[in-house]
Amino acid sequence: MASSGLASVDQIERQLTFALVGGGTVGVEMAGALAEMSRMALAHDFRHIDPASARICLYESGNRILPTYPERLSKEARRHLESLGVRVYPNARVTTVDSEGIVVGGQRVPAATVLWGAGVVASPAGRWLNAPTDKSGKIIVEPDFSVPGHPDVFAIGDTAHMIASTRNLVGIKSRTPMVMPGLAQPAIQEGKYVANVIRLRALGRPAPAPFWYWDKGDLAIVGRTYAGRICGSRVLRGSRHGSSGRAYIFISSSDSQIGCLSCSNGDLPSLPNVARYAYFLWNGVPHRTLSSGQHDNGTPVGRKNG
């Protein structure tokens, strides 16, 4: 289109506009990847268009992106996306998606590419079975994931509404049960649990203990140089600055401790040093800065300070 010389500026701009709907993990990761591709990987591959001029717009109906993450991580993720050239629009509800683009807040936004990351409706299984459902259509299941009134029918994953206890990465049980998110991690564990329920029934044995979810954490990768992760009450965030040859890992816990692991010689820290340092921060030991295998006072890693 651009090479023909017949396209208007508005037509080219529309072709170079990417509208991403939903500021969760999917939308944020996709926006970061598109921004890096257009401004780095594809920057010199075209003669008639400038990939770096692509408009990458991320729309979130809530007041911030990554709404299930702590606000601190959300703000940092937004700053990183904006540094890549992504335009972030919170409190922006998309009401229409068609061949011309989207309508958000009553305003038409021309876009040739629209990527939906705002979730999907629940399976209609609840209506098929005339079972009780929550407001999103998920079946409110029994403790063993069976459908009320249908003890031989089970629902798991994003078809089921289940409230269960959780345990973090090291097995510590949470104080408050939570609604299981419709993600792969819970669905896999739920499937194994239901398989065991069916097996024990077939053998005539007692039912297993109530289901609990082993929460291994959530990870959002915002481009190649920044990531944030939640592990229970712990929050980890990190970035790598390749231009300077230095690697930084920032770790903050629920009590807001922050640490830094860096290498000034351009080499990444050894895995044992990274693991040891993460363990210090995880267990509330006062923060240290390691560079080339040393503590901030010069003590080699593995020895106690002082």
Residue 107, φ and ψ in degrees, nearest 5: -110, 135
| DSSP run (H or E) holding 50 | none
The answer to whether residue 297 sits within a structural domain is no
pLDDT at 175: 85
The answer to whether residue 170 sits within a structural domain is yes
Distance of CA 4 to the CA centre of its chain: 41
Range of the domain at 231: 218-291
pLDDT (average), residues 239-255: 39
Of 18, 7, 10, nearest to 116 by C-alpha is 18
Q: Is the separation of the CB atoms in 38 and 44 below 8 Å?
A: no
- CA gap 297, 290 in Å, rounded: 9
Give percent above pLDDT 90 in the chain: 49
The verdict on pTM exceeding 0.75 is no
Q: Which pLDDT band, with edges at 50, 70 and 90, does 161 fall under?
A: very high
In the set 13, 29, 60, 76, the catalytic residue is 29
What proportions of the chain, in percent to the nearest 5, are helix, strand and coil? Answer: 25, 30, 45
Q: Which pLDDT band, with edges at 50, 70 and 90, does 100 fall under?
A: very high
pLDDT digits 0-9 by tens, 134-153:
988 999 999 999 999 999 99
pLDDT digits 0-9 by tens, 22-38:
999 899 999 999 999 88
The answer to whether residue 306 sits within a structural domain is no
Task: Answer yes or no: 36 catalytic.
Answer: no
Q: Is the separation of the CB atoms in 50 and 38 below 8 Å?
A: no
Question: In degrees, to the nearest 5, what angle opens at C-alpha 46 toward C-alphas 42 and 51?
Answer: 50
Of 16, 9, 2, 8, nearest to 111 by C-alpha is 16
Same domain, yes or no: 207 and 228: no
98-122 burial, b at 16+ Cβ within 10 Å, e below that, comes to eeebbebeeeebebbebbebbeeeb
- Give the CATH number for residue 95: 3.50.50.60
The answer to whether residue 233 sits within a structural domain is yes
Neighbours of 292 (CB within 10 A): 13
Same domain, yes or no: 107 and 165: no
